[in-house]
Amino acid sequence: MQKNALSLDQDVVMLHGWGMNAAVWDGCSACWQGLDQHRIELPGHGASPFQPRLDSLWSWADACLEAAPEQAIWLGWSLGGLVALAAALRAPKRVTGLILLTATPRFVQAVDWTPAMPETTLDQFHADLAQDPVATLARFLALQVRGSESARDTLRTLRQELDSRPPPQPDALSLGLDLLRDEDLRGRLPDIRCPALWIFGSHDALVPPRVAERVECLMPGAQTRVIAGAAHAPHLSHPTATAAAIRDFLDGQAACA
């Protein structure tokens, strides 16, 4: 594995999930204390513009790389994790480490990939999005906290954060669902050489914690951590445990440098 030194004062690029915005990081400051944060909004989310040329995972990664510092740790939540993986493949010298928060290299089920969402779930989101974007986002928020020990409080926080920034653009939401449905980076994981930490929630209804076992096989050297009692937003529902996992990872890599 590439020996990149990670430190608590290093730049960290932070990518939110589908339908979200940069405000999702506001409620969990303990997780990022001491890190030089660069909160980048995905194309068409929050205040980030959306252009027709941004029509693929790789173009989304390129757009985020354009806004990112020359070198940084990349932290991605859910869809943001998929974009962070693409950035690490696209520009390996610029991504010094990865922290992947309830992310997965493949979001939908396959014969050889059962710990994932049924494709019909995303198809239904697509159909609902065309009819009522606001209600579809609300349903997605509820799904993210399902099973969490503090589901009600986490859902309230997510709603407040989402409302604090401009609403996502419908075209960006539609393409984001396409990326969640169609992208499969499992075969590319061994090509990523930087240190990596994958954090999962034990009660996640979108990215089951069993993905951790698959990641350990596909990405030798990667670390995994499952946050007990958390669903799809452990940084909001369990900030102390999530912060501890991130600190342990950064401290361990700094000691090995």
The verdict on whether 55 is a catalytic residue reads no
Catalytic residue among 232, 235, 237, 238: 232
Is the CATH code 3.40.50.1820 the one for domain 11-256? Answer: yes
Helices (H), 33-168: 57-67, 79-90, 119-131, 133-145, 151-163
Q: How far apart are CA 27 and CA 14, in angstroms?
A: 14
The domain ranges of the chain are: 11-256
Which is catalytic among the residues 16, 48, 204, 235?
204
Identify whether 78 is a catalytic site residue. Answer: yes
Q: Kindly report, residue by residue over 90-104, the tens digit of the pLDDT.
A: 999 999 999 999 999
Whether 232 is catalytic = yes
48, 78, 148, 237: the active-site residue? 78
pTM of the full predicted structure?
0.92
Would you say residue 178 has pLDDT above 60?
yes
**Strand 223-227, strand 95-101: pairing:** unpaired
Q: Which residue ranges make up the annotated binding site for substrate?
A: 18, 78-79, 140-144, 232
C-alpha gyration radius of the chain: 17
Q: Print burial letters for 20-59: b (CB count within 10 Å at least 16), e (below 16).
A: bbbbbbebbeebbeebeebbbbbbbbbebebeeebeebee
Tens of pLDDT, residue by residue over 179-219, are 999 999 999 999 999 999 999 999 998 999 999 999 999 99
Binding residues: 18, 78-79, 140-144, 232
pLDDT value, residue 257:
55
